């Protein structure tokens, strides 16, 4: 299993985004600034289903992903 997820970033360049990863219970596991990137490290997450949110001042993107070991 890959420890990196790739994001197709359609937000404007040079804009910092807040990235939040939650588990299925809604608990926030990771929150960090995401700046002009397209890869997020997930090697520290256990197998399971996760929700991800990327947002800036004007818009937000929501997604989900599964980690399988």
Per-residue model confidence as pLDDT tens digits over 19-55: 999 999 999 999 998 876 778 899 999 999 999 999 9
pLDDT number for residue 66: 93
Q: Residue 60 and residue 55: Cα distance in Å, rounded? A: 4
Q: Between residues 2 and 32, which one has the greater pLDDT?
A: 32
Q: Is this prediction's pTM over 0.95?
A: no
CA 5 vs CA 18, 40, 42, 55: distances in Å: 16, 5, 7, 17
The pLDDT tens digits of the residues spanning 7-22 come to 876 777 777 889 999 9
């Amino acid at each position: 299993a890959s420890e990196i997820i790739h994001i197709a970033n359609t937000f404007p360049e040079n804009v910092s985004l807040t990235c939040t990863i939650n588990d299925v219970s809604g608990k926030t596991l990771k929150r960090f600034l995401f700046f002009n990137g397209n890869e997020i490290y997930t090697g520290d997450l256990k197998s399971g289903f996760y929700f991800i949110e990327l947002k800036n001042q004007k818009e937000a993107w929501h997604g989900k992903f599964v980690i399988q070991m």
